[in-house]
Amino acid sequence: MEGEILRKGEDIILRVTDLAEKDQCFGRLDNGMAVMVSGMLAVGDRVRGRIKKVRQRYIEAIAVELLEPSPDRTPPVCTYFGVCGGCKLMHITYGAQLLYKQKKVRDALEHLGNFIDPPVYPVHGSPSPLYYRNKIEFSFSNMRYLLHEELSLEQLSRPKEFALGFHTPGNFEKVIDIDYCFLAKEEMNQALELTRTFALEHALVPYAAKAHTGFLRNLVVRCSEGYQEIMINLVTSWHDEELMQRYRMYLEAGMAGKKITVVNNVTQRHNNVATGEVEFLLCGTGYITERLGGLDFRISANSFFQTNSSQAEVLYQTILEVADLHPDDTVYDLYCGTGTITLYLAKHCRRVVGLEVVESSIHDARSNAELNGVSNVLFCQVDLKDFHAMLDTLSDYDTPQVIITDPPRAGMHPKALTTMLRLRPKRVVYVSCNPASLARDGKEIALHGYKLLSVQPVDMFPQTSHIESVACFERCSAC
């Protein structure tokens, strides 16, 4: 193929050598030309691809035939695989998923952070690659996504105007009507089926995203592993007290013997966010309680909490180990959320200060501290970009020896990063859900006299490309 001019629409043959973002993979032709090929592929697959675009340095193609499967392939257990965007890696063995995620973190640190041979450890894998989520959000829609096998049918087995499940990738209107999710716990799938049946029997109208009409918007189900409690949150456009009481009784009958609480969140916002401005308690306490590391955490309908409880404990224990705390240490926990990391560390040091912008999260953090009898913590509501303005308020507290930062996917705000480095803690423990932002911020931390000691990835989301990492930076003694 050397010297041959390649054109759009022509077929090429290549072997996949690496995974990329979304459903793209990487390979090379015999002449060395790079190819980005889309399709649910695995490293080692030999495929026939069809050229979509020819660029100066690489080709974009789509896989049209699998010629030789990779030894890392495994049959996906879910019938919606390839249509639903939730489990991009379900066709790859779990061991290969972990190797890919370790490489993803290392590549980001090397290519984006300019770290030479970064100390990225093997990934802490999940003991349960399926059924691990403690929270799942389903969406309603008046536009059901038709599966490939339905397109040729004259008569459909279920209505086109009702769907309860997951949005198709890149489409905020259409929803795949899901019967069963293999990441959700059994009780979540039970609540899904009961809610669908109730809605269809009562002819309830699902939300139309473009017209902003309809009653049913979202179904959010949470479970606690520690206490086996279930929360069912139906998000609607308005509150119908009589109907909601019927729904509550229907759930109680269908989930008899299980400890459930049911709430109705109401919103009229023109978006698909599964939270409400007003909440109505239909039965139970309105919250569930999870237990991690000997601590209880109260979780309300709109609280943030890690979605994999068993791996959350692994994550927090990893943070504790690399922080290397001493009894007299003061610790700052930036982007502390509902205070789970703050409280987990509190008994190992003198005091912990948690900083977070979301008011409801700070309220939950203080409630969780009181619930567990933890008194050596202080929670402050602050936008971390204004962190520098808080330093006078915190002047009664010692300069932190250790700072934990767990920023959102975009990474730390530059002003927050500058203020953190100005405090010159002995150690910075950076918890990241995005290797690219870890690499970018890590590069800046290293430029200010810190050495990257370790990076421990933790797989919080098996079957997906997401990976959490705990990076530990230590200030050089001469700095």
| Whole-angstrom distance, CA of residue 293 vs CA of residue 343 | 10
Number of Cβ within 10 Å of residue 11's Cβ equals 11
Average pLDDT over residues 222-232: 95
Question: Residue 157's pLDDT band (boundaries 50, 70, 90)?
Answer: confident
Single-letter amino acid code for the residue at 378: L
pLDDT of res. 396: 65
Burial per residue of 121-156, b for 16 or more beta-carbon CB atoms within 10 angstroms, e otherwise? eebbbbeebbebbbbbbbbbbbbbbeeeeeeeeeee
**pLDDT digit string (tens) for 21-76?**
878 899 999 888 899 999 889 999 999 999 999 998 899 999 999 999 999 999 99
Question: Residue 372's pLDDT band (boundaries 50, 70, 90)?
Answer: very high
**pLDDT digit string (tens) for 291-346?**
999 999 999 998 888 999 999 999 999 999 999 999 999 999 999 999 999 999 99
| Whole-angstrom distance, CA of residue 471 vs CA of residue 479 | 20
| Whole-angstrom distance, CA of residue 183 vs CA of residue 185 | 7
Q: Is the pLDDT of residue 395 over 70?
A: no
Q: How far is CA 215 from CA 109, 137, 140, 218, 266, in A?
A: 46, 17, 9, 10, 10
| Whole-angstrom distance, CA of residue 328 vs CA of residue 466 | 36
Q: Which domains does the chain have, with CATH numbers?
A: 11-68 (2.40.50.140), 102-128+308-475 (3.40.50.150), 135-292 (2.40.50.1070)
What are the φ/ψ torsions at residue 185 (nearest 5 degrees)?
Answer: -70, 160
E strand spans, 69-161: 135-141
Q: What is the DSSP letter of 149?
A: G
pLDDT of res. 270: 85
Q: Whose CA is closest to 58, among 1, 104, 15, 6?
A: 6
How many whole angstroms from its chain centre is CA 443?
24
Q: What is the DSSP letter of 73?
A: B
What are the φ/ψ torsions at residue 16 (nearest 5 degrees)?
Answer: -75, 130
Average pLDDT over residues 69-91: 92
Q: Is the pLDDT of residue 431 over 60?
A: yes
Q: How far is CA 18 from CA 30, 36, 42, 153, in A?
A: 16, 10, 8, 38
DSSP for 279-312, please give it. EEEEES-SEEEEEETTEEEEEETT----S-HHHH
Q: Choose between 114 and 32: higher pLDDT.
A: 114
Q: Which segment, 16-20, 159-163, 242-246, is predicted with the most confidence on average?
A: 242-246
DSSP for 333-371, please give it. EET-TTSHHHHHHHTTSSEEEEEES-HHHHHHHHHHHHH
Catalytic residue selected from 87, 433, 472, 479: 433
Q: Is the pLDDT of residue 377 over 70?
A: yes
Average pLDDT over residues 406-423: 94
What sign has the CA pseudo-torsion 386, 388, 392, 396?
positive
Tell me how many helices (H) and strands (E) the chain has.
9, 21
Q: Is the pLDDT of residue 452 over 60?
A: yes
pLDDT of res. 397: 67
**β-pair type (351-356, 330-334):** parallel
Q: Choose between 423 and 170: higher pLDDT.
A: 423
Q: How far is CA 390 from CA 216, 272, 361, 381, in A?
A: 42, 34, 18, 10
Average pLDDT over residues 425-431: 97
Question: Residue 4's pLDDT band (boundaries 50, 70, 90)?
Answer: low
Instruction: Supply angle C-alpha 190, 264, 284, rounded to 5.
Output: 70
Query: Mapping DSSP to helix (H, G, I), strand (E, B) and coil, where does residue 172 land?
Result: coil
CA dihedral of residues 179, 183, 186, 188 (deg, nearest 10): -70
Which two three-digit tokens encode residue 449?
């006299």
Place of tokens 């890919």: 100
User: Is 433 tagged catalytic?
Assistant: yes
